[in-house]
Amino acid sequence: MAVRRNVLKPIQKPEGFTFETLIARISTRFINLPTDKIDAGINLGLSEIGKFVGADRCYIYLKNKDNDLGSTYAWCKRGTHSWIHNWRRLPVESFPWWADKLSRFEAVAISRGAELPAGARAKKEFVRSHNIKSFLAVPVEKAKVVTGFLGLDTVREEKTWPSSLPYLLKLAGEIFLNALEHKRSAEIIHKRTAQLELIHRIQGEIQVDADVESVLTAAAESIGKAFGHYKISLNLYDKNTDEIVYLLGWNKTGLPLPRGHRQKLGEGLIGKAALLRQTIVANDVAKEPGYLRFHLSRTKAELVVPLIIHDRLVGVLDLQDTKTDAFSEDEVAVLQSLSRYIAYVIDSRQKEAALQESTEKYRAIIENIQEGYYEVDLAGNFTFCNDSLCRMLGYPMEKVLGMNNRQYMDEESARRIYSIFNQVFKTGEPVNLVELEVVTGDGLKHHAEFSVSLVRDAQGQPTGFRGVVRDITERKLAEQRIRASLQEKEVLLKEIHHRVKNNLQVISSLLNLQAYNSSDPQLLKALREGQNRIRSMALVHEKLYQSKDLSRIDFGEYIRKLSVHLFQSYQVDPGRIELKQDIEGIFLDINTAIPCGLIMNELISNSLKHAFPEGRKGEIYLELRRQDEKRLLLSVRDNGVGLPEDLDIYKTKTLGMQIVTLLAFQLDGTIELSREQGTEFRILFQELRYPPRI
């Protein structure tokens, strides 16, 4: 019974196959279709629809952000010109009569081109020039807004369209649009994840413990290799002269760039970005009055990103390209994120260089460094500090001198610093980069990085400790932002599952409203069954966005909740039909959970509807367990009246049983049917293993 997964095949049409059944099966195909198969699925669906209704062409056009007809999918019968590109980039206003009808959610059905009204002159000309005999177009809508249309036409003969066809075509359009929305959401997540991975990769190639020049060299080369632009340069800000100084860079020409070149703030695009502290994207430098042509004369586009840390200008990242429109919004966002990291590394390197210099000169220049410097006695009381430490702690110098560490630390941090001081005292070895929390004079908590070394007198006896304190609150924050970025994927996935669940709930509510306004028993039955199928899928998404693990759900709990819902939906008296369950704690991913949930929905519903007629009592038994290392067993058993002996579940025309058999095939599963003492369906299947998709 095993079939190949993800292989799109045309739907077979047995005797009695209707257009409604075709739409239902197209919809079923998209339930678990990977995103890279969606385009092929839409094209296949259009061909099946076109062939079924006897059209020569079948197509769907969707508007782009400029309100033009953009993305296109089309099918045409062999020997028929497709004219698929004739509508692309075509303003909707070109056909006002036709566009007006679609905007009012009306179908455009013409059996003869001559039937077009006088006001449809543009459409008449289009029909005449393309030899169209008959055509039908229905609006494709999202959230009560028309986003395009799905159409059919004939060129060989005139055709009268069935009155029920527009409604069914609208359903098909909604199926295709929902599939494309799912694809777009997956592409957004994939794109953002790729951006984060690129940022983290380039960050990993920058040696944060090297000197500034090595840091800049690594950054320029990594960015150049990653993006491949014509020229990349890193320039430092000289605060003494208010100039941007070119230090080093990377370019495709292999020519050396003029090291030491200077530009005033506001001069050229580099100087302008530095002055305004804003990113400048010039996708056509010929249109930029402030652009200065440098020695690389082939430049057509330029991107300038200021390097800023703590609202302080560090330098400028400059990229140039030989093509116009070379810098996309996504690329700019990535480079802006990288610029913040480069600015942080440069700032850290510069600070460490200053600290090293200050150590050599010690008290002569100690007040000029930004890090806090301290000296304490053996009891931990301040005997000397610089102004930076006072600003860091938020106390004046006279208050700091004589202060003990317990006065600006919480109890846990104070115990820890005492332990470190004691270790340094015993071993004589300095301790570097200890992270502690300090409380400033205004009561705020800051994260600080300490270094501690032992101070000895002329006789070599310990007299106290000295060290440097660096406020790393902004760097902690930076790490939190990185972690938040990594969590963005999880948040987006939860939001998608939440929205899908809500959309399915809206569909269920619409079906409920339709049922309320109908007295047809058959229609009411079909609507209720449709609601239950929708509920089974919505429940999977609900469990996923409520779960800590977005990749898997507790399927045992899912079955319990689904069965309770079905008993309530069919208004079953628990005293008449008893539900028994033997469910192991099995977790499934969404690719397996949705088809399994639909199978359970159909089999439980089937027992509730048919197994216990005329008030007969009985029980339904559900089982889910591992059969072996690879396979799972799903069983639904009842002790009701049983199925007819001549019933072939693979040839039945009931939609419910068709769903069960189709989804079992999709799961590479086998179905065993037992008619002893009622009815039992046993489905053995393996959990689907698709490549991970973002």
Per residue in 586-595, pLDDT tens? 888 878 887 8
* The pLDDT of residue 693 is above 70: no
* The pLDDT of residue 15 is above 70: no
* The pLDDT of residue 420 is above 50: yes
Name which of 6-15, 147-156, 319-328, 650-659 the model is least confident about: 6-15
- What are 424's two structure tokens? 């340094």
Positive or negative, the CA dihedral 671, 674, 680, 684 is: negative
Please write the tens of the pLDDT for every residue from 606-656: 888 888 988 889 999 999 888 888 888 999 999 988 888 877 888 877 877
**Which of residues 303 and 645 earns the better pLDDT score?**
303
Q: What three-state secondary structure class fits 581?
A: strand
* The pLDDT of residue 443 is above 50: yes
Looking at residue 47, its pLDDT comes to 92
Calculate mean pLDDT across residues 296-311.
Answer: 84
Where is 141: in which H helix or E strand? strand 134-142
Nearest CA among 499, 568, 561, 503 for reference residue 536: 561
**Which of residues 91 and 248 earns the better pLDDT score?**
248
Q: How confident is the model at residue 86 (pLDDT cuts 50, 70, 90)?
A: low
Q: How confident is the model at residue 668 (pLDDT cuts 50, 70, 90)?
A: confident
Q: What three-state secondary structure class fits 206?
A: coil
Q: What are phi and psi of 62, to 5 degrees?
A: -125, 145
Domains by residue range for the chain, with CATH? 19-184 (3.30.450.40), 206-350 (3.30.450.40), 370-471 (3.30.450.20), 486-686 (3.30.565.10)
* The pLDDT of residue 55 is above 80: yes
Q: How confident is the model at residue 1 (pLDDT cuts 50, 70, 90)?
A: very low
Calculate mean pLDDT across residues 279-299.
Answer: 80
Q: Tokens 């005329």 — which residue?
A: 614
b vs e for 569-598, b when ≥16 Cβ sit within 10 Å of the residue's Cβ? eeebeeeebebeeebeebbbbbbbbbbbbb
* The pLDDT of residue 210 is above 70: no
Looking at residue 666, its pLDDT comes to 85
Whole-angstrom Cα distance, residue 609 to residue 679?
Answer: 13
Cβ-based neighbours of 231, under 8 Å, separated by 6 or more = 249, 250, 251, 252, 253, 257, 296, 299, 318, 319, 320
Looking at residue 254, its pLDDT comes to 59
* The pLDDT of residue 294 is above 50: yes
Positive or negative, the CA dihedral 414, 419, 424, 426 is: positive
For residue 49, give Cα distances in angstroms to 18, 151, 655, 677.
11, 10, 19, 44
Calculate mean pLDDT across residues 26-50.
Answer: 88
Looking at residue 618, its pLDDT comes to 92
Name which of 396-400, 428-432, 479-483, 650-654 the model is least confident about: 479-483
* The pLDDT of residue 73 is above 80: yes
**Which of residues 570 and 150 earns the better pLDDT score?**
150
Q: How confident is the model at residue 373 (pLDDT cuts 50, 70, 90)?
A: confident
Calculate mean pLDDT across residues 103-127.
Answer: 77
Helix axis angle, 165-205 to 329-361, nearest 10°: 20
* The pLDDT of residue 91 is above 80: no
Looking at residue 83, its pLDDT comes to 64
Count of CB atoms within 10 A of residue 467's CB?
22
Nearest CA among 248, 177, 239, 261 for reference residue 212: 248
Calculate mean pLDDT across residues 89-94.
Answer: 58
Calculate mean pLDDT across residues 306-334.
Answer: 86
Type of residue found at 409: M
Name which of 9-18, 232-241, 367-376, 478-487 the model is least confident about: 478-487
CA 292 centroid distance within chain: 40
Whole-angstrom Cα distance, residue 544 to residue 474?
Answer: 35
Nearest CA among 360, 365, 406 for reference residue 386: 365
Q: What percent of the chain has pLDDT over 90?
A: 7
Q: Tokens 């098909």 — which residue?
A: 172
Nearest CA among 597, 591, 605 for reference residue 657: 605
* The pLDDT of residue 273 is above 70: yes
Whole-angstrom Cα distance, residue 438 to residue 524?
Answer: 68
Nearest CA among 402, 365, 352, 353 for reference residue 382: 402
Q: Where are the alpha helices (DSSP H) in 206-328?
A: 212-227, 268-276
Calculate mean pLDDT across residues 59-75.
Answer: 73
Contact 300, 321 (CB under 8 A): yes
Calculate mean pLDDT across residues 574-592.
Answer: 84
Q: What percent of the chain has pLDDT over 70?
A: 75
Looking at residue 363, its pLDDT comes to 57
Looking at residue 2, its pLDDT comes to 43
Looking at residue 589, its pLDDT comes to 80
Whole-angstrom Cα distance, residue 16 to residue 152?
Answer: 23
Looking at residue 374, its pLDDT comes to 84
Q: How confident is the model at residue 682 (pLDDT cuts 50, 70, 90)?
A: very high
- What are 684's two structure tokens? 């053995």
* The pLDDT of residue 459 is above 80: yes
Calculate mean pLDDT across residues 82-103.
Answer: 66
